[in-house]
Amino acid sequence: MVPTPSHTKGGATRARRIMFYSHDTFGLGHLRRSRALATALTQADPEASAIILTGSPMAGRFTFPERVDHIRLPGVTKTPDGSYISQTLGLDIDDITSLRAGLIQSAVERFEPDLLIVDKEPTGFRGELLPTLEYLRMRGRARVVLGLRDVLDEPEVLAAEWNRKGALAAAENLYDEIWVYGVRDVYDPSEGLALSPETRARMHWTGYLRRQVTDASDVPDTPYVLITPGGGGDGAAMVSLVLSAYEQDPELGPDAMLIYGPFLSGEVRDAFDARVAKLNGRVTAVGFDSRIEALFAGAVGVVCMGGYNTFCEVLSFDRPAVIVPRTKPRLEQWIRASRAEELGLVRMLDEFRDGMTTDAMIAAIRALPDQPKPSAAGADGLLDGLDVVVRRALALMEKGSSR
């Protein structure tokens, strides 16, 4: 247990306050990562509290531990042409960004966090975080951390994106530390970024974020392969391929449990449900389960996409996995999966190498029960992230209180 940190304000002491910013324009990754970090930090300090600022429309469907809450920012949706619109309010994108920026700064001013942890985007969605970062830098008490997942994108693509958004300048000038939730020997997400030596000296590789079963969930009594496309918004091709495998091979086993994810479109899901119904129980499907950790723990193997959180769960629950990474709009998942395969942690079904064929998926599922577990390749040694985050957070907040 980490000693309870506190500091003095106006002669009185108060418990630590931690805030997370998770822009969440699409998917669940940023929210789930922030939730895991908030849980670890408040468990380590029984007096601390945490608030997550999130744009995820799914935030209300998750349970949060005691002393962790969330504020839902107005949501935005990415259109097919790459632009953004408001999810529900009918405001243009400039108005919705201004509204979100005002809510963020108001929440920070009133909550007065000792530590702000920003997920992935140094300037926030369309720069909405910059006024708050400047405010905190002027006030000088709160510590500010940029948290990066293990892989962001191809180095050249990422460098161009950060330059365009002003993210490089923000990372250099507005953050006390940068935490990478991965292992440098696995992959360096900052490769290609023109960060100064001083900023690189403030970078810390924490290791991957270990997950555990936090809520009970109904788990099948018989052996099953867990099929998960994460949030599901870009997982239709993988789900269809898995269903084709069970349709083509009536002897294929083990049976499958499919979690569509909340962002798989209704029409696509309806078509998949019709296919599932014809498989006579060999595949069962549900739309969304916020307690997916229990399903990972009970599975004999996993077929999944290559998102960060899913990868952490594969390692944490030591499940043999076949990763089917997306390659558009980013190569992030492909980079992560190919590097993990090189290290012997998972198997990848690579569209460039293997082809996205039904026969390839049948062979992958058949081999899952006998595939080596990630622990055989040393996965357990990669999962120190939450412990390191707790230590770094406490050290930073102690420095902040001594200013």
Residue labelled with tokens 């599922």 = 365
**Fold equal for 6-210+384-401 and 224-381:** yes
3-state secondary structure of 69: strand
Distance CA 394, CA 401 (A): 11
First vs last C-alpha separation in the chain: 25
Reported as a single tens digit per residue, the pLDDT across 38-54 is: 999 999 999 999 999 99
3-state secondary structure of 53: strand
Reported as a single tens digit per residue, the pLDDT across 237-288 is: 999 999 999 999 999 999 999 998 877 778 888 999 999 999 999 999 988 7
Distance CA 145, CA 137 (A): 12
Residue 300 CA: distances (Å) to CA of 17, 22, 71, 170, 306: 40, 32, 37, 44, 18
Q: To the nearest whole number, what is the mean pLDDT of the chain?
A: 89
Q: What is the pLDDT of residue 4?
A: 47
Distance CA 394, CA 396 (A): 5
Average pLDDT rounded to a whole number, residues 341-358: 93
Question: Would you call the peptide bond into 254 cis, given omega within 30 degrees of 0 as the criterion?
Answer: yes
Residue 197 CA: distances (Å) to CA of 163, 164, 172: 18, 21, 10
3-state secondary structure of 117: strand
Q: At what angle do helices 358-367 and 236-248 cross, to 10 degrees?
A: 80
Q: What is the pLDDT of residue 5?
A: 45
Q: Kindly report the pTM of this predicted structure.
A: 0.91
Strand partners, 226: 257, 302
Burial of 349 (0-12, 13-18, 19+ CB in 10 A): buried
Average pLDDT rounded to a whole number, residues 89-115: 93
Q: What is the pLDDT of residue 400?
A: 63
Reported as a single tens digit per residue, the pLDDT across 112-162 is: 999 999 999 999 999 999 999 999 999 988 999 999 999 999 999 999 999
Q: What is the pLDDT of residue 82?
A: 60
Average pLDDT rounded to a whole number, residues 25-34: 75
Distance CA 106, CA 112 (A): 10
Residue-wise burial string across 129-167, b where 16 or more C-beta atoms lie within 10 A, e elsewhere: bbebbeebeeeeebbbbbbbbbbbbbeeebbeebeebeb
Answer whether residue 290 shows pLDDT above 70.
Answer: no
Among candidates 371, 368, 367, 365, which has minimal Cα distance to 243?
365
Answer whether residue 31 shows pLDDT above 60.
Answer: yes
Quickly name the fold that domain 224-381 has: Rossmann fold (3.40.50)
Distance CA 369, CA 194 (A): 44
3-state secondary structure of 99: helix
% of the chain beyond a pLDDT of 90:
71
Give the pairing type, strands 76-78 and 84-86. antiparallel
Q: What is the pLDDT of residue 12?
A: 55
Residue labelled with tokens 């632009």 = 83
The dihedral formed by the CA atoms of 154, 336, 122 and 46, expressed in degrees to the nearest 10? -170
Return the DSSP state at 148.
E
Which carries the bigger pLDDT value, residue 55 or residue 214? Answer: 55
Q: What is the pLDDT of residue 11?
A: 46
Q: What is the pLDDT of residue 90?
A: 78
Domain ranges of the chain: 6-210+384-401, 224-381
Q: Is the CB of residue 38 less than 8 Å from the CB of residue 209?
A: no
The CATH code of the domain at 6-210+384-401 is 3.40.50.2000
Which carries the bigger pLDDT value, residue 218 or residue 141? Answer: 141
Which carries the bigger pLDDT value, residue 197 or residue 260? Answer: 197
Strand partners, 86: 76
